């Protein structure tokens, strides 16, 4: 069983996905990573998300699209409790990760975030740390001391982020010395190093040029064999290219959710079609 409740005494043991995929009974056809029911979020008086209900399948890429301010990022941040960092935020509804309520009172948000990695819009490698330290910091600050283990995980994470060959001789150089696209892949490696089960990406390519974007998209494609990925993007072509499922949010409401091919070719909702075809947004 997955241990969400308290930090395990040995922090190296970050629970693996395989242990509990069968946890929810409804997963006969498609395994579900997230089950979200009636999720609402308020910032102060303003309601950012209104009663969203959707399931996010495992080992697939789900993209969240919609015009600016529709609640895409807020929705994503509810999945790893990052929205709680904003003062005066309130949420309602339930979010289940592999059948377990992320918001029940005895769940430590730090453990939630360890299981659900996140990549941000603006690449943010820690400026005081080297490339290598940036990748291993999550493990080291969670108590891992074993150098051999750290070095193995460093190489593995950088390889998964398709960055190893570019930086293997410069691991001691500052993380901020890399180019924008490399920095973003470094951030992906940093998120992967703690071996999360899910990777959330909040417009990971919006600050990158087309070549760097193509690299990240290729990477997303490879990562989905091992991870469940949820990506927020305001670039519909990108959603079409990388995702298996697409959710369209508008003014905080979930308008439509389904396989990407269906959303893009034959949407059931008029608003989705208008947005996809570029009539608004």
Partner 1 sequence: MHARRADKHAWRKTKNVLVSAATFLSAVAVVAPLALVFFHLVMNGASSVNWAFFTQLPKPVGVIGGGMANAIVGSLELLALASAIGVPIGVLGGVYLAEYGSARANSTLRFIADVLNGVPSITWGVVVYGLVVLRFKSFSGYAGGLALGLIMVPLILRTTEEVILLVPNGYREAALALGIARWKTIVHVVMKTASKGIITGILLALARIGGETAPLLFTAFGNRFWNHDLAEPIAALPLQVFTYAISPYDDWHRQAWAGALVLVVGIFCVNVLVRILTRERKPSIV
- Interacting residues toward partner 1 by CB under 8 A: 80, 82, 85, 87, 110-115, 117-118, 120, 122, 124, 126-128, 137-138, 141-142, 176, 187, 190-191, 194
- The Cα–Cα gap between 100 and 89 comes to 22
CB of 237 to partner 1, least distance (A): 26
Phi-psi region for residue 4, left (φ > 0), alpha (ψ -120 to 50) or beta? alpha
Q: Which C-beta is closer to partner 1: that of 63 or that of 80?
A: 80
CB of 270 to partner 1, least distance (A): 36
| CA nearest to 219, candidates 176, 159, 179, 178 | 159
Q: Which C-beta is closer to partner 1: that of 127 or that of 210?
A: 127
Torsion of CA 173, 179, 183, 186, to 10 degrees: -60
Q: Which C-beta is closer to partner 1: that of 88 or that of 148?
A: 88
CB of 125 to partner 1, least distance (A): 8
- The Cα–Cα gap between 205 and 221 comes to 14
32-44 burial: b if 16+ Cβ within 10 Å, else e = bbbbbeebbbbee
CB of 246 to partner 1, least distance (A): 24
Angle made by CA atoms 184, 185, 186, in degrees to the nearest 5: 90
Q: At 227, list the tokens.
A: 């991870």
* Count of C-beta atoms within a 10 Å radius of residue 269: 13
CB of 30 to partner 1, least distance (A): 27
Q: Are 239 and 252 in contact (CB under 8 A)?
A: no
Q: Which C-beta is closer to partner 1: that of 154 or that of 255?
A: 154
| CA nearest to 258, candidates 3, 23, 30, 22 | 30
* Count of C-beta atoms within a 10 Å radius of residue 202: 20
Q: Which C-beta is closer to partner 1: that of 38 or that of 128?
A: 128
Please give the helix or strand (H or E) that residue 97 lies within, else none.
strand 89-97
CB of 188 to partner 1, least distance (A): 12
Q: Which C-beta is closer to partner 1: that of 19 or that of 26?
A: 19
Q: Which C-beta is closer to partner 1: that of 122 or that of 279?
A: 122
CB of 272 to partner 1, least distance (A): 30
CB of 5 to partner 1, least distance (A): 14
Q: Tell me the CB-side half-sphere exposure of residue 212, using CA atoms within 13 A.
A: 17
Q: Are 227 and 196 in contact (CB under 8 A)?
A: yes
Q: Which C-beta is closer to partner 1: that of 40 or that of 124?
A: 124
């Amino acid at each position: 069983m997955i241990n969400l409740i308290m930090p395990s005494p040995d922090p190296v043991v970050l629970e693996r996905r395989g242990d509990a995929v069968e946890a929810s009974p409804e997963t006969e056809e498609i395994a579900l990573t997230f089950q979200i029911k009636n999720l609402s979020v308020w910032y102060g008086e303003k309601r950012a998300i209104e009663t969203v209900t959707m399931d996010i399948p495992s080992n697939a890429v789900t993209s969240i699209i919609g015009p600016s301010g529709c609640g895409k990022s807020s929705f994503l941040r509810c999945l790893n409790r990052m929205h709680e960092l904003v003062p005066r935020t309130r949420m309602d509804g339930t979010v289940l990760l592999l059948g377990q309520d992320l918001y029940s009172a005895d769940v430590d948000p730090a453990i939630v975030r360890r299981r659900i990695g996140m990549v941000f819009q603006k690449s943010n490698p820690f400026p005081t740390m080297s490339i290598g330290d940036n990748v291993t910091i999550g493990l080291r600050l969670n108590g891992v001391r074993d150098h051999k283990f750290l070095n193995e995980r460093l190489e593995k994470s950088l390889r998964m982020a398709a960055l190893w060959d570019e930086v293997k001789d410069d691991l001691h150089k500052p993380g901020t010395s890399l180019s924008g696209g490399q920095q973003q892949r470094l951030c992906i490696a940093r998120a992967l190093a703690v071996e999360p089960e899910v990777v959330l990406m909040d417009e990971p390519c919006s600050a990158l040029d087309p070549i760097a974007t193509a690299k990240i998209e290729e990477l997303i494609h490879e990562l989905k064999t091992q991870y469940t990925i949820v990506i927020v993007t305001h670039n519909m072509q990108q959603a079409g290219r990388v995702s298996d499922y697409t959710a369209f949010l508008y003014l905080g409401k979930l308008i439509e959710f389904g396989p990407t091919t269906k959303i893009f070719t034959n949407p059931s909702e008029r608003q989705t079609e208008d947005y996809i075809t570029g009539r608004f947004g």
